[in-house]
Structure 1
Amino acid sequence: MNKLVKLTLGLVATAAIVSCNQEAKKDNTTASTTAATTTPTTAQEEKIVYVNSDSLSEKYTYYKDVRARLEAKFKKAQADFQAKGQAYQREVAEYQQKGQGMSATERQATEERLVRLQGDLQRMEQNAGQSIGQEEQTEFSKVYTAVTEYLQKHAEDKGYKLVLTYSKTNPAVLYADPKMDITKEVIDALNKEYADKTPSKK
């Protein structure tokens, strides 16, 4: 039942590649002529930026709230399963101690009940894992959507042509100039947007 950790790490992909070429179509002719005679400016270089997904998962309040809720649910399901498992083990131990003094009918009935209990435990573990896994997928999909929708609007407003994701733990990008890092402004904006949508806690 370690799916939570794996899916939590899956949020590394929350910063999507966003292409914003609307302005490029308008200025295509002018840009091609100018590019032949001038060197790239800082503004042009900054058309490609990145978001640090490690920082995003650590500081984005919405993501942290979802992770905390899922971890609490996982721990509760785990505690319930362990409690029922311990009760089952006690019944098995009791049967092992008293089995020889039982009649054949009592032994058969007890063994059949223990088999049913074991099956119930297996189904309980399987169902809990599937339920939590589905909820994780749904909740983190909402987080992913919130991030990508914001980044798309942000990229259009700023004129970015590409927004990359960067992570030290899973480096698809081997080097990124810190001047291209927009992580802080993205996290600040996302947290403000989430706070505006969330009822204040008193």
Structure 2
Amino acid sequence: MKTATRFMHSAMALAIAMLFIQCKNNTGQTAQTTESPAKSNVTSSNRLPIAYVNLDSLLVKYDYAKELNEKLIRRQENARASFNEKARELDKEGAEFQRKYQNNAFLSQERLEQEQQRLLKKQQDLQTLGQRLESENMQEQVKMQMQMADSINNFIKEYNKNKKYEVILNNTSTLYIDPSYDITNEVVDMLNKRYHAKK
């Protein structure tokens, strides 16, 4: 569960960075063009041409984000189960070695040392496996975060072609935003429709 939360927060941070880049690019482009429809509407209604997305809610409600999170959790559970199985095998062999040692069951000192070396090698292999599995899980997590951030970023670009906002913010880096600027539910609904249409 801790990893899932870390995944969601990491994905959120990546999506935030991409959204800020998107907003900065859009602001530079809008400054060069004539007054957009959103600007004229904003002036007449005294509303700013901005919106925000609640990223926590988006990541909880976006089906693609949920699917990626579940996939990551399954992968981590499988890796943990595989590692734990090998660790149990090593523990059994270590206990058997200890029993033989205490009962003087080794035929020679050389045979005792060979068995010690074999168990040490197996322990080192297990540590290497643990590090490799952790590294693979981290790489997969980064890959999934990038996929999700890319999905959200591409959608926001398409979404804003019609909406003409100058800035689309996220709520995680602000102290207060008028709730009437919140477009989260609309964005989530459209993201989910697009995601299921692609499936």
Q: Specify the TM-score bucket, using the shorter chain as the normaliser.
A: 0.7 to 0.9
From 113, 132, 138, the counterpart of 2:143: 138
Q: Which residue is equivalent to 1:164?
A: 169
- 1:26 corresponds in structure 2 to 33
Distance 1:126 1:43 in 2: 57
The one-character-per-residue Cα deviations of 1:62-97 (angstroms, maximum 9, x if unpaired) are: 011011011001001001101110110111111111
What TM-score results when the alignment is normalised by the length of structure 2? 0.84
Query: Which of 63, 66, 80 is equivalent to 2:65?
Result: 63
Determine which of 153, 156, 172 is the counterpart of 2:158.
153
Match of 1:129? Answer: 134
Distance 1:140 1:43, change over 3 A: farther
Q: How many residues align?
A: 183
Aligned to 1:192: 193
Q: 1:5 to 1:149 in 2, by over 3 A?
A: same
Q: Deviations over 1:83-123 (max 9, x none)?
A: 11011011111111111411211210110010111011011
Deviation at 1:162, TM superposition (A): 0.6
**2:99 corresponds to:** 97
Q: Contact 2:11–2:146 (CA<8 Å) still a contact in 1?
A: no
CA contact (8 A) 1:49 1:160 kept: yes
Higher helix share: 2
CA RMSD, Structure 1 to Structure 2 (Å): 2.0
Which residue number in structure 2 is paired with residue 180 of structure 1?
181
1:147 Cα deviation from its structure 2 partner = 0.2
**Alpha-carbon shift at residue 5 of structure 1 (Å):** 4.4
User: 2:45: which partner in 1?
Assistant: 42
Quick one: percent identity of the two aligned structures? 29
Q: Per the alignment, in what secondary structure is the counterpart of residue 49 of structure 1? A: strand
Deviation for aligned residue 1:25: 2.6
SS in structure 2 of the partner of residue 174 of structure 1:
coil
Alignment partners' CA distance in 2, 1:9 and 1:97: 48
1:78 aligns with 2:80: yes
